[in-house]
Copies of this chain bind each other. A is one copy, B any other.
Amino acid sequence: MPNQASDIVARLAALGLAVPEPAAPVANYVGATLSGALLFVSGQLPFGADGALGAAHRGKVGADVTPEAAQAAARLCALNVLGQAQLALGDLRRLKRCLRVGGFVAAAPGFVGVPGVVNGASDLIVAALGEAGRHARAAVGVAELPLGACVEIEATFEVAA
C-alpha cells in the first residue's frame, strides 16, 4: 500500500540495497532522538557499506565532485539516516512518514544544482517508504562539511507509538 512504510526493508532489498548498521557518534551526541511521535535523525555523511567515506564523495560539488557522484552520495546519506532510525527504533516498520529532510551540499562557487544532488536522498527515502516518504525539504549549498564530505543529510520522521 503506497501510504504505508511497513515494508521498507523489502523495498530496499528489491533495489539491491540494505539498511546499514551505523557506527555510534564518537562525541556527545547520538544518531537519533525520539520524542512522542517525532524521531530526529542526526546529519549523516555518505559513508559506504564499508564504513568509509569514498574519495569520490569528498570535496566540492561542481569542482572536485560531479553532480552525479554527489547525488549517489546523498543516496548513501539517506541509507545511513534509515540505519540510524533502525538503530533507534529497533524496527523500521515503526516509521510512519518522513516529515522533513535537511540537505547540505558542499558547493563549489557557482554550483547551483543543489536540488538535483539532494534528490538522491529524497528519491531513496521515497523508494523506501513509498508515498509516506514524501517530505518537506530544505536544500542549501554550504561552505564545508565534516571530513570534507560532499553532502550531509538530516531528517525528521513521524513514528508509530
CB atoms of B146 and A114 under 8 A apart: yes
Q: Is the interface of A mostly helix, strand, loop or mixed?
A: strand
Each complex incorporates copies of this chain amounting to 3
CB atoms of B146 and A112 under 8 A apart: yes
CB atoms of B156 and A114 under 8 A apart: no
Closest to A104 in B: B140
Given A142-B140, A152-B138, do A122 and B27 touch, yes or no (CB 8 Å)?
Answer: yes
CB atoms of B40 and A136 under 8 A apart: yes
Q: How many residues of A contact B (CB 8 A)?
A: 57
A37: interface (CB < 8 Å)? yes
CB atoms of A138 and B43 under 8 A apart: yes
Closest to A61 in B: B144
A139: interface (CB < 8 Å)? yes
CB atoms of B136 and A31 under 8 A apart: yes
Given A144-B110, A144-B114, do A137 and B97 touch, yes or no (CB 8 Å)?
Answer: no
User: Which of A33, A126, A158 has the most C-beta atoms of chain B within 10 angstroms of its own C-beta?
Assistant: A33
Q: Known pairs A106-B143, A114-B146. 17 more at Cβ < 8 A? A: A25-B137, A27-B119, A28-B126, A29-B137, A35-B37, A35-B99, A38-B38, A38-B99, A40-B135, A40-B156, A43-B139, A109-B143, A111-B144, A112-B144, A112-B147, A138-B154, A143-B143
